[in-house]
Chain A
Amino acid sequence: MRVLACYKVVRDDADLVVADDRSVSFGRGAAQISDYDLHALEAAAQLASATDGVAHCLTVGGDEVKDSKLRKSALSRGMDAGMVVADASLADTDAQHTARVLAAAIQSVDDFDLVICGEGSADRYSQQVGTQLAANLGLPFVNGVTRIEAGEGSVVVDRTNEAEVETLQVSLPAVLSVTAGMNSPRIPSMKDILGAGKKTVTEINIADLPVKTGGNGLAVQPELAPEAAERATEIYQAADLAAFVSKLREVVGKDVK
């Protein structure tokens, strides 16, 4: 089976810095592959290996996605080759445009049986790219996937929704969004990382893709940190344990002994 995993490059939220005016920055924080997409890469690698197939990966984003460390990070996770669509105009683009660019890139290659996405991105988590990608490609789509099993011309998947697990047969080609619970992403070894440097990454020029254009009327403001609630910050030292406990009793509604 020929499997393609899509991933997004995001800033590491551990590096999030909030200024006094609530504006946010990411310090010197490095960009990384969105956590959820590591599960898509892992699912693609496992499926390719189980079917003697190939696994490729694809990302769309600003110039940061061209970073060689990030490419190697994706390729070292069981990928055979990669594709990158990098352009300044794609930095922090919304789910709708991302899905259009991904669809155009996939159509330009037209070589995959199955496309796997993560459930949502670590920053926006709108959970829209997988479904919109499938709709743009005119392919069947299943989200909430917690298990994939390869079949002949189809895959059998478990979809875990709010109440139950549905086992579904999906005709190929298709698009799936996999959940973070479905697998444990591998930790690439030094050999994997060195090997990744020898793999092919195709850079696709956005200008060469027939991407549907036309804005969706969406306008957004810069992101801000939420307003923090004022807290009393009444702090006791260990020596004042008794005083702390009696205060705590009041808070949790236990009568003072």
Chain B
Amino acid sequence: MTKAVVFAETPDAYAELIGGARDLADELTAIVVGSEQDAATVAAYGVAVRLIPRDDSLLLDDHWPLVVDQITELAPELVLLAATLRVRALAGQLAVRTGHPVASDVTSLTGQGPGYAFRTVRYGGATQQDGTAAALIVLTGSGMFTPAEPSSDGPVSVIAAAAQSGLVKLLSRTPRSEETVDLSAAEIVVGVGRGISSEQHVQTAHALARALNGEVACTRPVAEGLGWMPKSRYLGVTGAVITPKTYLALGVSGQVQHMVGVNGAETIVAINKDSKAPIFERCDLGLVADIEQVLPSLVEELG
């Protein structure tokens, strides 16, 4: 009998965790920190729920010791956690308590009786590594598993222990204000590389993206070295990873550190004046040309 436990910060993140964990263990328990309504939402997927009532006067993190206690008591072989900032910290507490390893941001996870096989990426996806462990704590983003469908309600048990205030106290909270773009939603992404030599031409790339109803993105040096675009728009190692229908790379040389962010594109189109640029081996359609000369006519033709 193998056991799995799932946990997420918000009720809406459970469907995927439950969908994934069901295939990987015989017995499944969801731990929920929240309200009775939250517990009912999760139990509706036909899973047993242990509810730790949320004390709104405390930080969410103040509930972590109770979550760790519950998971330790259940002694599961697999813990599936929806990876948010605070849950990453929880994973560390759990790892130290149980001695089980943490696999962060796995790209695959399968049962390998007894135990689990998983794949993680290194250098932001430039390399990957396969591993196995008899018991494992897994941090996963969304999109990994097929969400479970609601079925008959599972049982809910309420944990009586109360969370205690810790050594970290909340002073105030404010909504985030800086630009956050969701490049992953765009069907067409126009990427700007160092082959574009002036900020003025970056504006033309923006115009092209608008004409194609797409988003604009860039390589790391364009965001970090030149500062022509916010960091939220750079693709690749440590940056965003996208899977659009079309990625249009303008003046991008095609180094692996960038390409790992765009290799999931259905079609890659590249324009670069250097015919030996590595991107011409990794694209579907290419044009060897000076990007600054052809860009205005592209905007006109495709606008």
Contact = CB atoms under 8 A, between A and B. Distances in A.
Contact of A170 (B167, B212, B297): B167
B120 interface: yes
Nearest to A130: B92
A207 interface: no
B85 interface: yes
Contact of A135 (B97, B263, B302): B97
B286 interface: yes
A219 interface: yes
Given A135-B93, A236-B286, A254-B302, A218 B133 contact: yes
A167 interface: yes
Interface in A118-160: 122-128, 130-132, 134-136, 140-144, 156, 159-160
A99 B93 CA distance: 12
Contacts of A141: 89, 92
A16 interface: yes
B196 interface: no
Contacts of B260: 226
Contacts of B231: 181
A60 to B, nearest CB: 16
Interface string A159-181: 11111111111110010000001
A58 B236 CA distance: 29
Interface of B is mostly: mixed
Residue in B97, B127, B302 with the greatest tally of chain A CB atoms within 10 Å: B127
Given A16-B256, A126-B104, A167 B171 contact: yes
Nearest to B303: A254
Contacts of B170: 166-168
A3 to B, nearest CB: 18
Contacts of B280: 233, 235
A110 interface: no
A164 B174 contact: yes
Interface string B50-61: 000000000100
Contacts of B126: 13, 16, 24, 225
B232 to A, nearest CB: 10
B288 interface: yes
A161 B101 contact: no
Interface of A is mostly: mixed
B44 to A, nearest CB: 24
B43 interface: no
Contact of B99 (A214, A235, A237): A214
B282 interface: yes
Contacts of A89: none
Contact of A223 (B124, B128, B290): B128
B294 A241 contact: yes
A236 B302 contact: no
B99 A232 contact: no
A162 B302 CA distance: 36
B104 A128 contact: yes
Interface string B98-117: 01111111000000000100
A237 B129 CA distance: 39
B124 A169 contact: no
A132 B92 contact: yes
B199 interface: no
A131 B124 CA distance: 21
A18 interface: yes
Contacts of A127: 88, 104
A130 B182 CA distance: 28
Interface in A51-99: 94-96, 99
A122 B231 CA distance: 16
Contacts of B85: 143-144, 159, 161-162
A235 B286 contact: yes
A187 interface: no
Given A13-B257, A167-B172, A234 B285 contact: yes
A202 B131 CA distance: 35
Contacts of A130: 92
A229 B168 contact: no
A101 B130 CA distance: 24
Residue in A35, A231, A237 with the greatest tally of chain B CB atoms within 10 Å: A231
Nearest to A177: B89
Given A143-B88, A225-B127, A231-B282, 4 more contacts: A135-B96, A167-B172, A169-B168, A233-B286
Interface of B: 59, 84-86, 88-93, 95-97, 99-105, 115, 120-135, 166-176, 188, 212, 231, 237-238, 246, 248, 255-257, 260, 263, 267-269, 275, 280-290, 293-294, 297-298, 301-302
22 contacts: A128-B92, A131-B93, A132-B95, A140-B168, A161-B84, A165-B175, A168-B169, A168-B170, A181-B231, A216-B133, A218-B101, A218-B131, A219-B131, A221-B129, A225-B127, A226-B121, A237-B287, A238-B287, A241-B287, A241-B297, A245-B301, A248-B269
| Ranked 7 nearest A-B pairs via Cβ | A131-B92, A238-B289, A135-B96, A126-B104, A140-B167, A235-B286, A171-B167
